[in-house]
Amino acid sequence: MNHFSPDSCYQDLFKQKPLLSYETEGKDPDYKQKLAKKLQEVLGEMPCKVELDPVTEYIKEHKSYIEKRMTFVTEKDMRVPCHFLIPKKAEGPLPAVICLQGHSKGMYLSLGKYKRLKDIKSIRLGDRDFGLQAVKQGYCALVMEQRGLGERESERSRDMSKRCVFPSMNALLFGRTMIGLRVWDVMRAIDLLETLPEVDNTKIACLGTSGGGTVTYYAACMDNRIKIAMPSCSVCTYKDSIGKVYHCCCNYLPCSAKYFDMGDLGALIAPRSLIVVAGKKDPIFPIEGVRKCYDTIADIYAKEGGECALVLGEGGHRFYAAPAWRAFQKVVKR
């Protein structure tokens, strides 16, 4: 080991049990309250609520669904674009699924649209058309653009490899984090869904892959209105993934590993349903770390109640639609 390397000191730090580990602290009757408070703290300061001011820009009719292009406000001077998809044949109000892309060119992938040759591979081989999948399952879908990505990219970071740097670093200057702000946007999206007559707001789910899965997971921890969370290629021990493999700076929460690991946070989702999707050959969320993380989650659910499942695909960093939706439907029917 190179002891001059700035990485060497973290090997021992990662061996230490987090201060709010479920394994050691889970029996504390105030555990969930303490964990929720700490998560809120590391997510950073959240914006002030403002009026949603929803605007419908256009409506398109497709063969099996209606598409509404909308925008809404999540904080002062921050308007969010989204597409709301409503199945034609189903009778409402219907359950709704919030669909989140990760580091990609944007939410249009969730709509099954192509803007580049690479999009064909992303959609066909990566099952990225989340919104269309949800509609096919009989749900409404809210396809929203994540902060710093797609139509919401920073004007200073057009380079794909650096798109999150400026907005993430500027967030830190004000005691915010990019994950926290993306979670806030999801929470405000749920506020929007609660105003739409087509939606059964007691049955709201959230799914996403990679950075979209990360936000899905943390949003489910923060907002109990999310009844089913289906994060893909994102739930893993800190040590084995973001603490070991190069990731975008938007993945990091200051002090998080000191207090909890990702698996411990399952205590804030249980007993609501959680489906963890992963690829056995994912290079940036290694399967060994996923399994260790899920072991903690499964232990929590065994004690706290509720439904959880681990869905494994044979490939790499992508969504696995067929087995994931089978697990989703099993949870719905129970």
- Could you read off the pLDDT of 30-48 as tens digits, one per residue? 999 999 999 999 999 999 9
Distance CA 102, CA 73 (A): 21
Let me know if residue 279 belongs to a domain. yes
Do residues 302 and 26 lie in contact, with contact meaning Cβ atoms separated by under 8 Å? Answer: no
Do residues 82 and 142 lie in contact, with contact meaning Cβ atoms separated by under 8 Å? Answer: yes
Tens digit of each residue's pLDDT (9 = 90 or more) over 98-117: 999 999 889 999 999 887 76
pLDDT at 89 over 90: no
At residue 146, what are phi and psi to the nearest 5 degrees? -80, 150
- Give residue 159's pLDDT band: very low, low, confident or very high (50, 70, 90): low
Let me know if residue 3 belongs to a domain. no
Do residues 62 and 83 lie in contact, with contact meaning Cβ atoms separated by under 8 Å? Answer: no
Let me know if residue 242 belongs to a domain. yes
Let me know if residue 7 belongs to a domain. no
pTM of the model: 0.96
Q: Which domain holds residue 39?
A: 12-333
Tens digit of each residue's pLDDT (9 = 90 or more) over 249-265: 999 999 999 999 999 99
Amino acid making up residue 120: I
Q: 100: domain CATH number?
A: 3.40.50.1820
As a whole number, the mean pLDDT across the chain is 94
The total of structural domains in the chain comes to 1
At residue 317, what are phi and psi to the nearest 5 degrees? -85, 90
What's the Rg (C-alpha) of the chain?
Answer: 19
Distance CA 72, CA 304 (A): 36
Let me know if residue 6 belongs to a domain. no
Let me know if residue 29 belongs to a domain. yes
Report strand pairing: 140-144 vs 78-87: antiparallel
pLDDT at 118 over 80: no
- Give residue 4's pLDDT band: very low, low, confident or very high (50, 70, 90): confident
Let me know if residue 5 belongs to a domain. no
Nearest Cα residue to 250 out of 188, 140, 176 = 176
Question: Can you give the pLDDT at residue 160?
Answer: 56
Let me know if residue 154 belongs to a domain. yes
